[in-house]
């Protein structure tokens, strides 16, 4: 993690960034909705349906971010070539494997 160095990966256009933030806030709201459903002991199947919806929304965010990453970081590294290109490809490939397996 590069938490100490914010603002350095400006691969996301501002418009797109706002869109991701909006989607993540909606997902946060859905997770709070899940807490309320459990709190109120709503019907289990309804809770599971909602969990599937949140999972799909998260997957969709991940696939979008991955697209941006490939279109910018991976493509740039590919053009520069050398070891950095290999590192970026390996990173992307590991991230894809984690998404496919999760």
Range 77-92 burial, b when 16+ CB lie within 10 A, else e = beeeeeeebeebeeeb
Q: CB of residue 61 vs a copy of itself: minimum separation in angstroms? A: 6
Q: Considering the rule CB under 8 A, would residue 100 count as an interface residue with a copy of itself?
A: yes
Residues with Cβ within 8 Å of residue 47, at least 6 apart in sequence: 34, 37, 38
Per CB under 8 A, the list member of 15, 49, 83, 84 interacting with a copy of itself is 49
Q: Considering the rule CB under 8 A, would residue 71 count as an interface residue with a copy of itself?
A: yes
Locate the DSSP E strands across 3-88.
none
Q: Considering the rule CB under 8 A, would residue 13 count as an interface residue with a copy of itself?
A: no
Q: Considering the rule CB under 8 A, would residue 84 count as an interface residue with a copy of itself?
A: no
Residue from 49, 52, 47, 44 nearest 34 by CA: 47
Phi, psi of 14 (to 5 degrees): -60, -40
- Binding residues vs a copy of itself (CB under 8 A): 1-3, 6-12, 17, 20-21, 24-25, 27-28, 31-32, 34-35, 38-49, 51-52, 54-56, 58-59, 61-63, 65-71, 73-75, 78-79, 81, 85, 89, 91-93, 95-102
């Amino acid at each position: 993690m590069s938490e100490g160095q914010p603002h350095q990966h400006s691969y996301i256009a501002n418009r797109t960034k706002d869109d991701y933030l909006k989607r993540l806030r909606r997902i946060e709201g859905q997770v709070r909705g899940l807490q309320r459903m459990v709190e109120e002991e709503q019907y289990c199947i309804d809770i599971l349906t909602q969990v599937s919806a949140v999972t799909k929304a998260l997957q969709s965010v991940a696939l979008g971010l991955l697209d941006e990453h490939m279109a910018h970081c991976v493509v740039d590294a590919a053009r520069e070539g050398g070891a950095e290109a290999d590192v970026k490809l390996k990173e992307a490939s590991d991230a894809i494997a984690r998404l496919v397996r999760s």
